Amino acid sequence: MADRPLSPHLQIWRWGPHMMVSILHRACGDGMATVGLGVLLWWLAAMAGGPESYETFLGHASAWYGQVVLIGLTWAFFTHMCSGLRHFVLDTGAGYELDANRMWSIISMLGGVVLTAATWAYILLR
């Protein structure tokens, strides 16, 4: 057996947008699974608990820290969705060229930010 690593060391890899999108995809999925599940269960329990319980939930959700959590969950959703669409295209065999991969990685990350901003602009300005 040869004395060589099975995969390149981190010093060999050149960081690029495709690596960031991959990390964000996993982090956003994990964040939605943990934080999103907690918020969903709290919301369901508040609805089942009656008007006073729901008012308590709304008080926390509409406070600045609740808004930060909800905006973060929205960003995680849209970032994960855009990255998933990018992976869907990659699964068809398209987009593996370096320039195309870099471009779609950047568009994927920006898409999450733009869609989050548009969604919250609609929510807050209506």
Whole-angstrom Cα Rg for the chain: 20
* Confidence band, pLDDT 50/70/90 cuts, at residue 6: low
Q: Is the pLDDT of residue 1 over 60?
A: no
CA separation for the pair 109, 28 (Å, rounded): 12
Residues in the chain, total = 126
Alpha carbon 84 to its chain centroid, in Å, reads 10
The structural domains of the chain, ordered by start, are 19-125 (1.20.1300.10)
* Residue pLDDT, tens place only, 66-81: 999 999 999 999 999 9
Q: Render pLDDT for 13-36 as a digit per residue (tens, 0 to 9).
A: 778 899 999 999 999 999 999 999
> Do 116 and 71 contact (CB within 8 A), yes or no?
yes
Whole-number pLDDT of residue 10:
63
Tell me how far apart the alpha carbons of residues 85 and 92 are, in angstroms, rounded to a whole number. Answer: 11
**What pLDDT digit, counting tens, does each position of 57-113 carry?**
999 999 999 999 999 999 999 999 999 999 999 999 998 899 999 999 999 999 999
Q: How far is CA 64 from the centre of its chain?
A: 20
- pTM equals 0.87
